[in-house]
Amino acid sequence: MHLLYPQICFGCGTDQIEKDMPLCPKCIQNLPLTDFFSINENPIEKIFWGRADIQNAGALLFFTKDSLVQTLITQLKYHHNKKVGILFGRLMGEAIAAEEKYKQVDIIIPIPISASKINSRGFNQSEVIAIGMQQVLNKPIISDGLIKRSWSNSQTKKNRKARLQQLPDLFFLQKPTTIEGKHILLVDDVLTTGATLEAAVASLMTGSPASVSIAAAAYTL
């Protein structure tokens, strides 16, 4: 592990960083926080107006091209760097723990990735973020309830419009009883159009949860 990830800050390159941290304290402090978790009717919540029945929603960071946040997300998704996911999760957990409106959350559910992606990537990046959140929020993670279907080859070749029309079937709820009556916090890595989360919320609703809130690590501007 040490050979793959030298112990230097991804932001400024200093080796003065704490163990298991991808960034130095100064670069953590300079991350582009949205503060959305504390803002009612924030841009993330507005994305879902009329599309999904969401209790609360927010994102931790602004995601812009060629930024440190993009580097970190790439590290998490494609370089197996779990430290990034844990850090994002802990920061999100701290932001959420400070908000009264998130106090009722019972369970954390990471957005699943397909079985084929888990095989090639080794882990679900949203689940790593959820583990970081759990370290702060102390809530159980349910990661085997919501399942993402794998696209067959023929489906992959379909154009974007055809695939979007299939989005409502993107996920299915394997164990509805595990979420019945529960206040769910649904966790994703990067939120762009909200289409994936919208499909996930639709599947969760078939299990009659008390509410669904959304937390994403980053929001694409």
Binding site for Zn ion (CB under 5 A): 9, 11-12, 24, 27
Nearer to Zn ion (CB atom), residue 61 or residue 187: 61
> What does the block give as tokens for 101?
């409106």
> What does the block give as tokens for 148?
């993402």
Query: 123: exposed, middle or buried (C-beta count within 10 Å: 0-12, 13-18, 19+)?
Result: middle
Biggest alpha carbon–alpha carbon distance for the chain: 50
Q: At closest approach, how far in Å is the CB of 83 from Zn ion?
A: 14
Q: At closest approach, how far in Å is the CB of 206 from Zn ion?
A: 44
Polymer length in residues for the chain:
221
CA atoms within 13 Å, Cβ hemisphere of 173: 19
Nearer to Zn ion (CB atom), residue 84 or residue 214: 84
Q: At closest approach, how far in Å is the CB of 91 from Zn ion?
A: 15
User: Which amino acid is residue 211, in one-letter code?
Assistant: S
Nearer to Zn ion (CB atom), residue 69 or residue 216: 69
Q: Which of 63, 56, 136, 131 is nearest to 95 (CA)?
A: 136
Nearer to Zn ion (CB atom), residue 24 or residue 133: 24
Q: At closest approach, how far in Å is the CB of 64 from Zn ion?
A: 18
